[in-house]
C-alpha cells in the first residue's frame, strides 16, 4: 500500500479528566471508504473535530497528504481538501439550498473583496462558475428542484443531503461524514450508499462514522472500531463481523458497565 492519504498518529483528547480519544492511531488509504464505528461516546465525533481542526488534540499528530496538519486552522484544511459534515444537522437555515451549497464553494473563490464588492469581471465570472457547479452538485444529490427553498424548510433527510452537497462544494479529496444516514428512510439510505460509491469511483476518499451496520458493511472497504477512545479492532468488514472484541463492545460483555458509566461526557 502506498503512503495513506490521512494518518492519525497517537491522538489523545481529554475533557476535564475524561479521556475522549486515547492514543489512537490509524490510516486512511486513498480512494477508499473507511468507516469508524463504535458505541456512543467512543470518541468518533471528537476525532472528526480533531481531523477537521475544530479541536486541538492534547497529544499526537495528524498527517495528510504527507504533511503534518496538526496545527493548521480549519479553513486552511478545507483549502487542502478536507471537507466534512456534522452529526447534528448544521445547514444554514436562513439561506436557500443553493446559497448553502454556494457557501461551501467559499474556499475556492479567489476574488479579492474589493473585486467582489465592485463586481469586477473576474469576480462575476467566478461567481457564475460557482453557481453552475452548485447546481450540478444539487442535481447529483437530487435536490435541484428545492434550490430556491430555505434550507430550514426541507425534510430531515433532504437537509442531510444539502450538507453533503455543501461539503462536496469545497472540492474535497477527503470527505468526513458524521452519521450521514441518520434520520434517513431505507430508500434514502440506499440512494446515499449509491452516491458514496459513485464518489469513491471518482477518486474521493471517504471517512465516515455511522451506526447503521447494514449501510456500513455494504459500503466500506475498511473499518476502525473504537471503544472508550481506543482502537479495539481494525480490518475489512468480513473480519470485523466475527471479531470477538467488537461483538463484546456492541452486545455487552466485560465493557458494558463502563459504557454506562461513561455515556454522558462524550456523547
Site residues, another protein (CB under 8 A): 52-54, 73-75, 78-79, 83-84, 86, 90-96, 98-99, 102-109, 111, 113, 116-119, 123, 127, 130-131, 166-167, 169-170
CB of 165 to another protein, least distance (A): 11
Cα 40–chain centre separation: 17
CB of 90 to another protein, least distance (A): 4
Q: Considering all CA atoms of the chain, what is the largest pairwise distance in Å, rounded to the nearest integer?
A: 65
First to last CA, the chain: 34
Q: Edge-to-edge strands of the sheet including 67-68?
A: 18-28, 6-15, 59-64, 67-68
Q: Which is nearer to another protein, 151 or 240 (CB)?
A: 151
Going from the C-alpha of 58 to that of each of 55, 63, 71, 111, 177, the distances in angstroms are 9, 16, 12, 37, 23
Q: Which is nearer to another protein, 35 or 167 (CB)?
A: 167
Q: Which is nearer to another protein, 9 or 99 (CB)?
A: 99
CB of 78 to another protein, least distance (A): 3
Q: Which is nearer to another protein, 10 or 109 (CB)?
A: 109
CB of 76 to another protein, least distance (A): 8
- Strand spans (E) along 29-180: 33-37, 59-64, 67-68, 82-84, 174-178
CB of 101 to another protein, least distance (A): 10
Comparing CA positions, the residue from 235, 142, 219, 227 lying closest to residue 177 is 219
Q: Which is nearer to another protein, 75 or 241 (CB)?
A: 75
CB of 114 to another protein, least distance (A): 10
3-state helix, strand, coil in the chain (%, to 5): 45, 25, 35
CB of 60 to another protein, least distance (A): 21
How many CB atoms are closer than 10 A to CB 117? 10
3-state SS, residue 51 = helix
Q: Which is nearer to another protein, 165 or 233 (CB)?
A: 165
CB-count exposure of residue 114 (10 Å: 0-12, 13-18, 19+): exposed
Q: Which is nearer to another protein, 63 or 135 (CB)?
A: 135
3-state SS, residue 215 = helix
Grid cell, residue 107, equals 474556499
Q: Which is nearer to another protein, 71 or 109 (CB)?
A: 109
CB of 252 to another protein, least distance (A): 34
Amino acid at each position: 500500500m502506498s503512503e495513506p492519504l490521512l494518518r492519525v498518529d497517537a491522538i489523545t483528547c481529554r475533557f476535564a479528566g475524561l479521556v475522549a480519544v486515547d492514543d489512537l492511531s490509524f490510516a486512511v488509504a486513498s480512494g477508499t471508504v473507511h468507516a469508524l464505528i463504535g458505541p456512543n461516546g467512543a470518541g468518533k465525533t471528537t476525532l472528526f473535530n480533531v481531523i477537521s481542526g475544530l479541536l486541538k488534540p492534547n497529544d499526537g499528530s495528524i498527517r495528510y497528504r504527507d504533511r503534518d496538519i496538526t496545527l493548521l486552522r480549519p479553513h486552511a484544511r478545507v483549502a487542502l481538501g478536507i471537507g466534512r459534515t456534522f452529526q447534528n444537522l448544521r445547514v444554514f437555515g436562513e439561506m436557500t439550498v443553493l446559497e448553502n451549497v454556494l457557501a461551501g464553494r467559499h474556499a475556492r473563490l479567489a476574488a479579492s473583496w474589493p473585486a467582489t464588492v465592485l463586481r469586477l469581471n473576474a469576480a462575476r465570472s467566478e461567481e457564475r462558475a460557482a453557481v453552475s457547479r452548485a447546481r450540478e452538485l444539487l442535481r447529483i444529490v437530487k435536490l435541484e428542484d428545492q434550490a430556491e427553498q430555505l434550507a430550514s424548510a426541507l425534510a430531515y433527510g433532504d437537509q442531510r443531503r444539502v450538507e453533503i452537497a455543501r461539503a462536496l462544494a469545497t472540492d474535497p479529496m477527503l470527505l468526513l461524514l458524521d452519521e450521514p444516514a441518520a434520520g434517513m428512510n431505507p430508500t434514502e439510505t440506499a440512494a446515499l450508499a449509491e452516491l458514496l460509491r459513485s464518489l469513491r469511483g471518482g477518486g474521493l476518499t471517504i471517512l465516515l462514522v455511522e451506526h447503521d451496520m447494514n449501510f456500513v458493511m455494504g459500503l466500506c472497504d475498511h473499518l476502525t472500531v473504537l471503544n472508550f477512545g481506543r482502537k479495539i479492532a481494525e480490518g475489512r468488514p468480513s473480519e470485523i463481523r466475527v471479531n470477538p472484541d467488537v461483538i463484546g463492545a456492541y452486545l455487552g460483555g466485560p465493557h458494558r458497565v463502563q459504557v454506562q458509566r461513561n455515556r454522558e461526557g462524550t456523547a
